[in-house]
């Protein structure tokens, strides 16, 4: 009887890992990187390459990220196949496809998105303008800080909470609604999808994934070949 020793490892953002861990087979290791790295693509790129370099002896390394501000472009493994969801960022992963993400952008321009993982993994200052609001209050006073926040968020009209499960939904809904109210944005709830997360867990690499052979760097064209781009 043939014995297969095919080894796979997942390296994921804490937000994606929160959704993924319950679905991964026990033998698949999942390394979680710090949530805040997404704020600085270059820092995320450095952390991802370091995690890849330290992951020896695996046939496949699956990244629980999308392009994420071009952070994955240029990544390379000399010994493992790299597999990455064909996604702009983790919002695409939680919506289930790039088409679903683009539909949201097209039908509801000016949207901020939240998930349970973002609320758990982030801090109250993670939404645009909140991260600087306290400093603005200290430096300029509350009234000017409010005006600066309004300018910072002038292109946003709604906050959309992506429902990725029913567990403790009321608790997360309340937190998301409070954030929308604080930012003076319309609050919506939209259904998420576990399609991409389940494909990662099951190792099903179809057209929704970029597959990079060992020794080759990730390129932007690997994600969106010019001949196949759909606007």
Q: How would DSSP label each residue in 73-93?
A: TT---SSSEEEEES-SSHHHH
Please give the pLDDT value at position 5. 65
CA distances from 209 to 67, 134, 153 (A): 12, 40, 33
Most distant CA pair in the chain, distance: 73
Taking the C-alpha atoms of residue 69 and residue 78, their distance in angstroms, rounded to an integer, is 23
Percent of the chain with pLDDT over 70: 87
Lowest mean pLDDT among 35-44, 50-59, 200-209: 35-44
**Which tokens is 37 given?**
């790295």
Lowest mean pLDDT among 17-26, 101-110, 192-201: 17-26
Alpha helix stretches (DSSP H) within the chain: 14-20, 41-53, 90-95, 98-107, 116-121, 130-140, 142-152, 169-183, 195-202, 220-223
> What secondary structure letter does DSSP report for 108?
S
Global model pTM greater than 0.85: no
Taking the C-alpha atoms of residue 195 and residue 211, their distance in angstroms, rounded to an integer, is 18
Please give the pLDDT value at position 130. 55
How many CA atoms within 13 Å lie on the side-chain side of 156?
20
The band of 95, judged by pLDDT with boundaries at 50, 70 and 90, is very high
Please give the pLDDT value at position 129. 46
Please give the pLDDT value at position 35. 82
User: How does the average pLDDT of the chain come out, rounded?
Assistant: 86
Mean pLDDT computed over 17-45? 89
């Amino acid at each position: 009887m043939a014995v297969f020793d095919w080894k796979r490892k997942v390296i994921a953002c804490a937000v994606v890992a929160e959704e993924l861990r319950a679905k991964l087979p026990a033998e698949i290791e999942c390394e979680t990187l710090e949530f805040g790295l997404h704020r600085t693509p270059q820092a995320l790129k450095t952390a991802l390459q370091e995690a890849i370099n330290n992951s020896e002896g695996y046939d496949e390394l699956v990244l629980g990220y999308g392009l994420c501000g071009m952070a994955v472009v240029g990544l390379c493994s000399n010994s493992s196949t790299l597999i990455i969801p064909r996604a702009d960022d983790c919002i695409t992963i939680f919506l289930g496809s790039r088409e679903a993400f683009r539909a949201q952008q097209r039908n509801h321009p000016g949207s901020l998105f939240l998930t349970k993982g973002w609320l758990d993994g982030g801090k109250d200052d993670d939404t645009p303008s909140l991260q600087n609001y306290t400093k603005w209050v200290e430096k300029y006073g509350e009234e000017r800080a409010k005006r600066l926040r309004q300018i910072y968020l002038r292109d946003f009209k709604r906050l959309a909470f992506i429902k990725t499960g029913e567990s403790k939904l009321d608790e997360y809904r309340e937190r998301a609604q409070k954030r929308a109210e604080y930012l003076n944005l319309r609050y919506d709830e939209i259904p998420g999808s576990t399609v991409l997360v389940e494909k990662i867990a099951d190792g099903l690499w179809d057209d929704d994934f970029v597959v990079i052979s060992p020794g080759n760097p990730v390129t932007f064209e690997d994600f969106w070949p010019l001949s196949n781009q759909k606007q």
